[in-house]
Structure 1
Amino acid sequence: MVAAAAVVAWILVEPFLRARRRARQRARTLDEADRMFLRRRVPVFVRMPKPLQERLEGLTLVFLAEKEFIGCQGITVTPHMKLAIAAQACLLVLGRDEHVYDAMRSILVYPGQFVVPGEWHDEHGVVTEEERVLAGEAWDVSRIILSWEDVKASGRGPDAYNVVIHEFAHYLDHEAGAFQQASVLAGELESLRAAVDQDEDTLLDPYAAEDEAEFFAVTSEVFFEQPGQLQRCHPRIYDALAGFYRLDPAAWS
């Protein structure tokens, strides 16, 4: 009985304690060396308004305090590696109140792309086992896996490739049903599939036509990396993502 009461008390008190811990973390700021690193490695940081820069710093510090980074295959995850991953992950929750990937516990970092076993189901129900080479994977709600080489490539300019944004968008989609929330995306996915079938050039990577989850993840990359182009070429997608993320990156100078 006492144990049960203690558990109930913890459930009631823990959100308050977490909010207080996070408030302390958000009150801190990055030192100038870390801020300069962000400017080099996360180009969107330079474009965003000062209040959003400050909010991103606070969310990043919360993320770094709460999540465990695990190096795999011999890689050592340095403080700047953690910072690059955390800041780009927190871009996606910049407009979402008090959300810092609450269920996530760890980020596994590999030196390069990694191999995972998988199964392929064809239209006849035949199952084929195969290995897949991946740059990242949202394994479940508690873990995300990333290739550091691909994380580094993600910070080299607004080329719409960003494995951190891609995988953390999968996390949010899984958690919140983002694709279903933005119902307009279903029609846009069908339009992209038709364009891909006709071999038309598109702003979006054809991989986005794979399924709903990949469409949301790929369009999220473009939303943050090439917001102006997405707004011009696919305004309905842009508006849907702006509503979900509660951000307007095309307006950032």
Structure 2
Amino acid sequence: MFSNPWRAWRHWRRQRFLRRYAIGHSLWAQIMRLPMFVGLDAVERARLRELASVFVHDKVWHPKETLVLTDWHRALIAAQACLPGLNLDEKRLQGWRDIILYPAPFWAEHEQVDEAGVVTAERAVLDGEAWLDGPLVLEWQTLEHEAQRRHPHRSVVIHEMAHKLDMGNGRANGMPPLHPDQSRPEWTETFSRAFENLQTRVEHGARHLSLDAYAATNPAEFFAVASEFFFCQPHALHQHEPAVYAQLSAFYRQDPRQRLPHPVSF
């Protein structure tokens, strides 16, 4: 089957790991019934289960306050975290190890530096954040609410994992490391145009937006929000931002519209 002894050994080692640590079939079947996973074929589900099982095992989980961490917490987060990486190099899901999980939205404080160099501390209530080379921070209340919705249009986990992928070039700027067959100028032009159009519509108080207004914050947030829509509401994203959808499809090596054939509203 394998002509390369190294590949054969790696395959054997992965299979031994999965026999011991794979997410249980019953639990996995529950997760695969959630809307964003509908339409994955048997091979994709098996690949995702493998990635999610490794993710659960390799990450260090830190439940906070009153949260009691269960297999459901880990598996649900891992499945969503690994969905964007389903057809990417597995190394893109690595390079960091800690997941901090709060029971509810949490306070975070960050320093902001303005154009004049003045540093101010800002506090905000968050449902997730991703640190460069650091932890993924999430809160369960929002994740659980998203999992219960029949037609979710967002995923905090996918949003924060998009930031992690974006940081593959050293910082979150809306320009993740692209594949060799992707055009950097085309990506830049597509996302810059869509971002500027959204900013203009938000500034003028438009009632109907192609993406959540939060996407107009900066290019990094635009990429993260667009990634949420790509996996949760692909038809809506394609309808309003077809060029952005095409770029994301080329980057993630996926086409969720083919998995979710019936558009849903939100």
Question: In which range does the TM-score fall when normalised by the shorter chain?
Answer: 0.7 to 0.9
Conserved? CA contact 1:72–1:109, under 8 Å: yes
Partner AA of 1:114 in structure 2:
F
Query: After superposition, what is the alpha-carbon deviation per residue over 1:129-185, rounded to whole angstroms, capped at 9, x for unaligned?
Result: 231111111023231110011111222243322110111110000114783343221
State the distance in 1 between where 2:98 and 2:116 align.
37
Q: 1:38 pairs with 31, 40, 43, which one?
A: 31
More helix by share: 1
Aligned to 1:80: 72
State the distance in 2 between where 1:123 and 1:204 align.
28
Higher deviation after alignment, 154-163 or 182-191: 154-163
- Report the TM-score when normalising by structure 2: 0.81
**What secondary structure is seen at the aligned counterpart in 1 of 2:130?**
strand
2:187 equivalent to 1:195: no
**What secondary structure is seen at the aligned counterpart in 1 of 2:121?**
strand
Unaligned runs of at least 5 residues, structure 1: 1-14
State the distance in 2 between where 1:245 and 1:202 align.
24
State the distance in 2 between where 1:124 and 1:47 align.
51
Superposition deviation, residue 100 in structure 1: 5.7
Aligned to 1:105: 97
Higher deviation after alignment, 216-225 or 93-102: 93-102
Conserved? CA contact 1:153–1:162, under 8 Å: no
**What secondary structure is seen at the aligned counterpart in 2 of 1:193?**
helix
Query: After superposition, what is the alpha-carbon deviation per residue over 1:211-252, rounded to whole angstroms, capped at 9, x for unaligned?
Result: 011001100000000001111111001001111111111111
2:232 equivalent to 1:225: yes
Aligned to 1:170: 163
- Report the TM-score when normalising by structure 1: 0.85
Q: 1:205 pairs with 198, 204, 212, which one?
A: 212
**RMSD over aligned Cα atoms:** 2.5
State the distance in 2 between where 1:150 and 1:45 align.
18
State the distance in 1 between where 2:60 and 2:89 align.
22
Identity %, equivalent residues:
36
Superposition deviation, residue 186 in structure 1: 1.6
Q: What are the within-5 Å matches in structure 2 for residues 56-75 of structure 1? A: 56-75=48-67
